[in-house]
Amino acid sequence: AVPAVSRAWGEDWSRRVVVLVPGSLDRMAALLGSTAAGYRGIAAVTTGETGGGRAPADRVIVNPDAYGVLGPVGKQVVLTHETTHVATRAHTTAATPLWLSEGYADWVGYRGAGRTPDEVAPELQRAVAAGEEPAALPADADFGFAGDATRLAQAYEGGWLACRMIAAHWGEDRLDAFYRAVGAHQRRAGAVEDALRTVLDTTLPEFTARWRAYLRAQLG
């Protein structure tokens, strides 16, 4: 996972990750100081404060129940996704929307995995087939694990496809620069819009329209 993340993001991070695999979901929850119900179905989580600069090592804590049922590719995607959060932590701030932080982590996770959009984004594919593709990029509230499972899946899939589109249309270097530019802002308001303008030379309405067309092209 570490080499895969460094190939995508670069080597300007600690390049060290501690992976903890507790014996049960309850033990995982205890390590996180929370209840087991909040992590049921989540394969792994990353600890560490966002925007906190470099750390000697961050911890990825695995849910043995959810992680154990994954195949080899799924396990690799999960570990690479979580390791991406470690690598990008110093550039992930209050200004960074979840569609970007989670979408980028999924983009790195699936990069080179050989999975097609319809395999990675089945919920959005169903929505596109029904003529119900989302009108806007996923909001932070869409990523709530206690809410609707379909809404959550579509949020992750939509963020992944947004980052995949940036990499395909503007290039992988621009995707990385866009991520860093958004996180460099002090607050959420205007951060994405400014980075879209300065890094990708586009506007939020134009980007959203391009993303919606991309969903239809990739999943239709």
Question: Residue 39: its pLDDT value, please?
Answer: 81
Least confident of 91-95, 146-150, 179-183: 146-150
Where residue 48 falls among pLDDT bands split at 50, 70, 90? Answer: low
Residue 181's nearest CA partner among 172, 168, 170, 191 is 191
Our CA angle for 73, 37, 51, nearest 5°, is: 65
What percentage of the chain exceeds 70 in pLDDT? 95
pTM of structure? 0.91
Question: Residue 40: its pLDDT value, please?
Answer: 79
Query: Average of pLDDT values for 154-182?
Result: 98
Q: Which residues contact 141 (CB under 8 A, 6 or more apart)?
A: 147
Residue type (1 letter), 40: R
pLDDT tens for each residue of 50-69: 444 444 447 899 999 889 99
Determine whether 69 is exposed, middle or buried from the number of CB atoms within 10 Å of its CB (0-12, 13-18, 19+). Answer: exposed
- Residue 32: pLDDT above 60? yes
Where residue 120 falls among pLDDT bands split at 50, 70, 90? Answer: very high
Average pLDDT score, the chain: 91
- Residue 49: pLDDT above 80? no
Where residue 198 falls among pLDDT bands split at 50, 70, 90? Answer: very high
pLDDT tens for each residue of 122-157: 999 999 999 999 999 999 999 887 668 899 999 999
- Residue 163: pLDDT above 90? yes
Where residue 41 falls among pLDDT bands split at 50, 70, 90? Answer: confident
